[in-house]
Structure 1
Amino acid sequence: MTKINVLISGSGSLYGVAILQALLKSELALTLVACDMSPRTLGLYLAHQAYLVPPVHQQEQYLKELLTIIEKESIQAIFVASSKELDFYSQHKAAIEKKTGAKVFTNDPETLKLCSDKWLTVNFLQDHGFHYPRTLRYPEDQEQIDTFVKEVKFPLIIKPRRGAGSEGLHTVNNYKSLYSLLEGQKDIILQQYLPDDYGEFTTGICAGANGEVLSGVTLKRFLQDGMTIAADAEDFTEITDYCKQVAQVLKPYGPCNFQSRLLEGKPYIFEINPRFSSSTGMRALVGINEAEILLRAEILGEKIYQNKIPKCSVIRQYTDYLVPTEKIILLEKEKQLGITETTKEKP
């Protein structure tokens, strides 16, 4: 079996740990290399090999150390697990791939910009004939607020144009609350409220070269503080197929997540995240291991056949891990420490 050396950057994030755990369960022959800026992040101690790197905003030094790791470990594939590093890898993707031959699973700057700005996301959906929530910019379109409220009615959603999770998100039911929250704000959008009568859905689409859809799965998610704490998996084919249609136009590369609710029985996408998500591990548990799928399709050239999704529920519970302090101290001191994961032999 062909051995693949994989780098997981930002490995201490929720996404990074999920990617590592998913790949440790894979039947592929893998050497997993993790890097992070902090020695007290779990991903470093799940991987076979670990490196400390500088913060990504120190771009020149970060790139220098990254290239050293790629060369030393003969890295063939790179998964970006930190949202703060997406722009860096997107900007340097072509140069890294050309210099090292390693495949970088991230999107181009144009796709990242479109998806990170919720106003641009809505315009993309509208321009291509997909369902979208009615949306207004603030302060640019403030003179249209009265007309907008008359047409879409309260409640309304107020949130930043750029941001993730529930940070800065508010539901308003009257003009007093609306103008109170808008006072002094900029880069805000007002958005039509999508009812949660049928819940909220997260659809994971995994895409290969030229936007080819490799897999898709929809989970009905249950939220706490903007994060998925539990999810139901069953036959949500209609929502999944709809998101696949959007992905075929957007043409992302790697993992991409579509958040939606139903309005009059139709899925309305209100957010697109072109990266691994907090539901990555949940999808792996129901048989859609996105990181493995990308390796099989893009590195090994295999044809992907999607598993049937079981009807089940996934409940997230955080687990504490014990790590010998000596390992942390050594990693801090030497900046590099090889770690063999105890439950899986290194190939």
Structure 2
Amino acid sequence: MKKVNVLISGSGSLYGVAVIESLLRSDLPLNLVACDISARTLGLYLAHQAYIVPPAHQEELYLTSLLNIIAKENIHAIFVASSHELAFYSRNKLDIEEKTGVKVFTNLPETMNICNDKWLTVNFLKEKGFNFPVTIRYPEDQDKINEFIKAVQFPIVIKPRQGAGSQGLYIVNQYEDIHPLIANKQDIILQQYLPDDCGEFTTGICAGANGRILSGITLKRYLQEGMTMSADADDFTEITDYCKEVARVLKPYGPCNFQLRLLKGNPYIFEINPRFSSSTGMRSLLGVNEAEILIRAEILGEAIYQNKNLKCSVIRQYTDYLVPTEKIIMLQKKFNMEHKN
């Protein structure tokens, strides 16, 4: 079997390192090529080849660098591991694939918009007949606040329509606290609070072309500042199957993560992230190597048979790595030489 050349962009992120380490565990013949905007990012030194690139918001420069890497390394697949680069790859996905024949594992703008905007996420779930937390917008629905509170009762959740993790998220227990949090703000939602007495779950669904489901795994997660720091894998088949049904309708491409809680025993999704997640590495350790699955299914055309998930817990602990300073200096010099004005 010929080597499969894989580019991991944003390779220094938590997701990027997880993707690289997952692929290094694979027995596939892989050549891993990492790129990032900084020479001081770990993924560059875990992969087989490394490149520094301009920031993705400098679209023309970034695209030129990307096409050069694709040509030089004969890239077959691109995994996007930086949330800052998702919009670029979403807009340019079809053009890159047409020009180069590479598979770009990200979603088109329509799907990205549904997932990135929590108001659109709720409306998608509602329109397609899935469970959804009752939600109103601010300032558009400010005249409905009293009615909303009467319907869902306190506590409620206030958060931005866009964004991930716990940034800008507030749990409010009384009327007096609402106004100071929303005054003079735009693009805010007020949402029904989903109880956490059963915990919070993250379900990873891997999807191929036309929304074909390749894998699914649910973890009960334990958070710290919005990040999964520990997780339990158990028999959460019902939750996983529910998220697979949602994915079949949404039709994402590549990795997709559903964050949810249980209300009266039923799963209620409150966030969809159409990308690799902070639990990508955990899933790989538990036997669901999402990056490898995508390569086998979408690049090599292999049938995917998911093994029964391990029943185990994973605890995240950050590790320090030694990298020769000369490597960092050489990589930075190479980038500077190639991008001289």
Residue pairs, 1:189-228, within 5 angstroms: 189-228=189-228
Equivalent residue, structure 2, for 1:339: none
The alignment partner of 1:71 has SS state of: helix
Separation in structure 2 between the aligned mates of residue 139 and residue 95 of structure 1, nearest angstrom: 38
Query: C-alpha displacement at 1:119, in angstroms?
Result: 0.1
Separation in structure 2 between the aligned mates of residue 282 and residue 235 of structure 1, nearest angstrom: 16
Separation in structure 2 between the aligned mates of residue 186 and residue 104 of structure 1, nearest angstrom: 33
Q: After TM superposition, which residue ranges in structure 1, 4 or more long, deviate above 2 angstroms?
A: none
The alignment partner of 2:45 has SS state of: helix
Alpha-carbon displacement from aligned partner over 1:292-345 (angstroms, at most 9, x marks no partner): 000000000000000111111000000000101110000000129xxxxxxxxx
Identical residues among aligned pairs (%): 73
Structure of higher RCO (CA pairs closer than 8 Å, 6+ residues apart): 1
Separation in structure 2 between the aligned mates of residue 232 and residue 30 of structure 1, nearest angstrom: 30
Equivalent residue, structure 2, for 1:259: 259
Provide structure 1 residue ranges, at least 5 long, that are not aligned to the other structure: 337-347
Separation in structure 2 between the aligned mates of residue 92 and residue 151 of structure 1, nearest angstrom: 43
Equivalent residue, structure 1, for 2:186: 186
- Pair 1:49-2:43 in alignment: no
Partner amino acid, structure 1, of 2:324: P
The alignment partner of 1:5 has SS state of: strand
Query: C-alpha displacement at 1:155, in angstroms?
Result: 0.1
Provide structure 2 residue ranges, at least 5 long, that are not aligned to the other structure: 337-341
Equivalent residue, structure 1, for 2:8: 8
Separation in structure 1 between the aligned mates of residue 286 and residue 307 of structure 2, nearest angstrom: 9
Partner amino acid, structure 1, of 2:19: I
Equivalent residue, structure 2, for 1:234: 234
Equivalent residue, structure 2, for 1:323: 323
Residue pairs, 1:44-193, within 5 angstroms: 44-193=44-193
Separation in structure 2 between the aligned mates of residue 95 and residue 181 of structure 1, nearest angstrom: 42
The alignment partner of 1:165 has SS state of: coil
Alpha-carbon displacement from aligned partner over 1:47-100 (angstroms, at most 9, x marks no partner): 000000000010001000100000000000000000110110011111111111
Equivalent residue, structure 2, for 1:33: 33
Query: C-alpha displacement at 1:258, in angstroms?
Result: 0.2
> TM-score normalised to the size of structure 2?
0.98
Partner amino acid, structure 2, of 1:132: F
Query: C-alpha displacement at 1:185, in angstroms?
Result: 1.2
Partner amino acid, structure 1, of 2:115: C
Partner amino acid, structure 1, of 2:72: K
The alignment partner of 1:83 has SS state of: coil
Separation in structure 2 between the aligned mates of residue 17 and residue 274 of structure 1, nearest angstrom: 18
Separation in structure 1 between the aligned mates of residue 101 and residue 311 of structure 2, nearest angstrom: 40
The alignment partner of 1:191 has SS state of: strand
Query: C-alpha displacement at 1:182, in angstroms?
Result: 1.1
Equivalent residue, structure 1, for 2:281: 281
Separation in structure 1 between the aligned mates of residue 3 and residue 211 of structure 2, nearest angstrom: 26
Equivalent residue, structure 1, for 2:19: 19
The alignment partner of 2:66 has SS state of: helix
Q: How many residues get paired? A: 337
> TM-score normalised to the size of structure 1?
0.96
Separation in structure 2 between the aligned mates of residue 261 and residue 251 of structure 1, nearest angstrom: 22
Alpha-carbon displacement from aligned partner over 1:174-233 (angstroms, at most 9, x marks no partner): 011111111111100000000000000000000000000000000000000000000000
Query: C-alpha displacement at 1:127, in angstroms?
Result: 0.1
Alpha-carbon displacement from aligned partner over 1:257-281 (angstroms, at most 9, x marks no partner): 0000000000000000000000100
Separation in structure 2 between the aligned mates of residue 90 and residue 305 of structure 1, nearest angstrom: 29
Equivalent residue, structure 1, for 2:339: none
| C-alpha RMSD over aligned residues | 1.0
Separation in structure 1 between the aligned mates of residue 80 and residue 334 of structure 2, nearest angstrom: 24
